[in-house]
């Protein structure tokens, strides 16, 4: 009798996995888009640096710290560009680039650079470009359900749950030498993750934010080195 019960449980498991297989195949998949707009030629020098700053918002929502760190580390590691820590830059430029006082438009940067003290500090820092990053990662949809239970013979989970996330980020590049906007790069990544309850929960995770970081850092590195966007896209 116990053998029949175990066989029935296995049959149930096979039926669940078979029914959910098409949904599992769809999970963990992502779509990604990149856009670039250039208004100035760029060619960062070996002795020049960039700094990434989260664009401030009145409502207090800005790009996540871990995302900013991820993009900065990959620009430095992959593109060979020196990235100055944003806290160091803001401290050295206090109070001009604090979130509450930082200029929101290139015209504001031009006015700041007209001040000898500001110009001197920027030259001492060696920062050529400021990259303002705006955006966030959020859950956009979800569905399904999973139930778990523990009994005398053991425990397990059954069911299927999924969720969709979107990472949407824009990066505006300001040329401090020209006191103008050099252009912008944006990325949008949408991915679906899933959790399958087949005795042991099986996760299928779409690395939405990690992919957005990879794409944005790669494109920014190419942008700062003056490479054409179509050439970079063809090589990815």
Six-digit token pair at 4?
A: 């029949």
What does the block give as tokens for 127? Answer: 């920062």
Are 132 and 172 a contacting pair, CB within 8 Å? yes
Q: What are 132's two structure tokens?
A: 């303002």
Ranges of each domain in the chain: 2-227
38 φ, ψ (degrees, to nearest 5): -120, 135
| Residue 223 pLDDT greater than 70, yes or no | yes
Residue 107: CB atoms within 10 A of its CB come to: 12
Q: What is the 3-state secondary structure (H, E, C) of the chain?
A: CHHHHHHHHHHHHHHHHHHHHHHHHHCCCEEEEEEEEECCCCCCCCCCEEEEEECCCCCCCCCCHHHHHHHHHHHHHHHCCEECCHHHHHHHCCCCCCCCCCCCCHHHHHHHHCCHHHHHHHHHHCEEEEEEEEEEEEEEEEEEEEEEEEECCEEEEEEEEEEEEEEEEEEEEEECCCCEEEEEEEEEEEEEEEEEEEEEEEEECCCHHHHHHHHHHHHHHHHHCCCCHHHHHHHC
Crossing angle for the helix pair 116-125 and 106-113, to the nearest 10 degrees: 100
Average pLDDT over residues 50-57: 84
> How many other β-carbons are positioned within 10 Å of the β-carbon of residue 28?
15
Query: Above 70 in pLDDT, residue 8?
Result: no
Average pLDDT over every residue of 70-85: 94
Task: Please state the pTM of the whole predicted model.
Answer: 0.79
pLDDT per residue over 112-155, tens digit each?
888 888 888 888 889 999 999 999 999 999 988 878 777 676 67
Q: What is the predicted pLDDT for the residue at 110?
A: 81
CB 146 within 8 A of CB 195: yes
């Amino acid at each position: 009798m116990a053998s029949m019960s175990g066989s029935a449980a296995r049959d149930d498991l096979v039926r669940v996995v078979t029914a959910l297989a098409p949904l599992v195949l769809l999970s963990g998949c992502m779509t990604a888009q990149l856009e670039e707009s250039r208004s100035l030629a760029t060619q960062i020098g070996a002795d020049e640096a960039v700094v990434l700053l989260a664009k401030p918002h009145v409502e207090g929502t800005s790009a996540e710290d871990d995302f900013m760190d991820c993009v900065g580390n990959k620009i430095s590691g992959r593109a060979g560009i020196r990235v100055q820590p944003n806290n160091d830059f803001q401290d050295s430029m206090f109070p001009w680039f604090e979130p509450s006082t930082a200029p929101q438009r290139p015209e504001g940067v031009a006015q700041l650079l007209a001040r000898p003290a500001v110009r001197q500090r920027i030259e001492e820092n060696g920062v050529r470009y400021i990259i303002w990053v705006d955006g966030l990662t959020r859950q956009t949809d979800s569905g399904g359900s999973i139930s778990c239970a523990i009994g005398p013979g053991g425990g397990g989970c059954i069911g299927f749950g999924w969720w969709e996330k979107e990472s949407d980020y824009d990066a505006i590049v300001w040329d401090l030498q020209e006191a103008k906007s050099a252009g912008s790069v944006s990325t949008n990544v949408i991915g679906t993750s899933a959790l399958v309850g087949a005795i042991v929960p099986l996760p299928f995770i779409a690395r939405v934010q990690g992919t957005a970081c990879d794409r944005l850092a790669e494109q920014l590195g190419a942008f700062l080195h003056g490479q054409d966007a179509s050439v970079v896209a063809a090589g990815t």
